[in-house]
Amino acid sequence: TMDAGGGLRTPIVAVLGHVDHGKTSLLDKVRGSAVTSGEAGAITQHIGATAVPLETISDIAGRLVDPDDFDLPGLLFIDTPGHHSFSTLRSRGGALADIAVLVVDVNDGFQPQTLEAIDILKRTQTPFIVAANKIDTTPGWNPNPDTPVQQTLAEQSDRAEQRLNESLYEIIGELSDNGFSADMYWRVQNFRGNIGVVPVSAETGEGVPDLLAVLMGLSQRYMKEDMSIDTAGAGAGTVLEVKEERGFGTTLDVVLYDGSIRTDDTIVVGGKNDPIVTDVRALLQPRPLEEIRTEKRFEKVDEVTAAAGVKIAAPDLDEALAGAPVRVVRDRPEEEVVEEVRQELADISVDTAENGVVVKADTLGSLEAIANALEEAEIPIVRAEVGDVAPRDVAVASTAEEVTEEVILAFNVDVLPDARQEAGDRNIRLFEDDVIYQLIDEYEEFVDEIER
Ligand code: GTP
Ligand code: MG
- The per-residue pLDDT for 225 is 59
Separation of CA 181 and ligand 1 centre (Å): 27
Higher per-residue pLDDT: 316 or 288: 316
Pick the atom of ligand 1 nearest to 103's CA.
Answer: 7
CA–CA separation, 325 vs 320, rounded Å? 10
- With a CB cutoff of 8 Å and minimum separation 6, the contacts of 65 are 57, 58, 209, 212, 213, 216
CB of 203 shorter than 6 A to ligand 1: yes
CA–CA separation, 31 vs 10, rounded Å? 17
CB of 136 shorter than 6 A to ligand 1: yes
At 5, is the pLDDT very low, low, confident or very high (cuts 50, 70, 90)?
very low
> What is the residue-averaged pLDDT of the chain?
89
CB of 183 shorter than 6 A to ligand 1: no
Separation of CA 418 and ligand 1 centre (Å): 37
- The per-residue pLDDT for 92 is 63
Binding residue numbers:
17-24, 79-83, 133-136
- The per-residue pLDDT for 7 is 63
Three-class secondary structure of residue 307 per DSSP: coil
- The per-residue pLDDT for 288 is 62
CA–CA separation, 211 vs 64, rounded Å? 10
- The per-residue pLDDT for 2 is 44
Higher per-residue pLDDT: 165 or 119: 165
Binding residue numbers for GTP:
17-24, 79-83, 133-136
Q: What is the mean pLDDT of residues 252-257?
A: 93
Q: Among 15, 18, 20, 294, which is best to mutate for testing ligand 1, by the most ligand atoms less than 8 A from CB?
A: 20
- The per-residue pLDDT for 139 is 97
Separation of CA 167 and ligand 1 centre (Å): 18
**Would you say residue 294 has pLDDT above 60?**
no
Pick the atom of ligand 1 nearest to 201's CA.
Answer: 27
Q: What is the mean pLDDT of residues 279-302?
A: 76
**Would you say residue 377 has pLDDT above 70?**
yes
Task: Taking the CA atoms of 326, 328, 334 and 337 in sequence, report the sign of the dihedral they define.
Answer: negative
Separation of CA 79 and ligand 1 centre (Å): 13
Helices 208-222 and 54-61 pack at an angle, to 10 degrees, of 140
At 75, is the pLDDT very low, low, confident or very high (cuts 50, 70, 90)?
very high
Higher per-residue pLDDT: 232 or 6: 232
- The per-residue pLDDT for 20 is 93
- The per-residue pLDDT for 120 is 82
pTM (predicted TM-score): 0.88
pLDDT in tens, 326-363: 999 998 999 999 999 999 888 877 889 999 999 999 88
Which ligand is located closest to the Cα atom of residue 83? 1
Q: What share of the chain is helix, strand, coil (3-state, %, to 5)?
A: 35, 30, 35
Pick the atom of ligand 1 nearest to 82's CA.
Answer: 4
CB of 133 shorter than 6 A to ligand 1: yes
Separation of CA 22 and ligand 2 centre (Å): 7
Backbone angles phi, psi at 91, to 5 degrees: -150, 175
According to DSSP, residue 437 is labeled H
Q: What is the mean pLDDT of residues 278-297?
A: 73
For 354, other C-beta atoms within 10 Å of its C-beta total 7
Q: Among 24, 25, 88, which is best to mutate for testing ligand 1, by the most ligand atoms less than 8 A from CB?
A: 25
Q: Give the lowest-confidence range in 60-64, 92-96, 103-107, 157-161.
A: 92-96
Which ligand is located closest to the Cα atom of residue 26? 1
Task: Taking the CA atoms of 349, 268, 74 and 81 in sequence, report the sign of the dihedral they define.
Answer: negative
What is the share, in percent, of the chain residues with pLDDT greater than 90?
A: 66
For 326, other C-beta atoms within 10 Å of its C-beta total 23
Separation of CA 98 and ligand 1 centre (Å): 24
Pick the atom of ligand 1 nearest to 17's CA.
Answer: 7
Which ligand is located closest to the Cα atom of residue 117? 1
Beta strand 128-133 with 194-199 is parallel
- The per-residue pLDDT for 86 is 65
Instruction: Output Rg (C-alpha) for the chain, integer angstroms.
Output: 23
What are the distances in angstroms from CA 302 to CA 31, 101, 232, 417, 431? 25, 31, 13, 42, 45
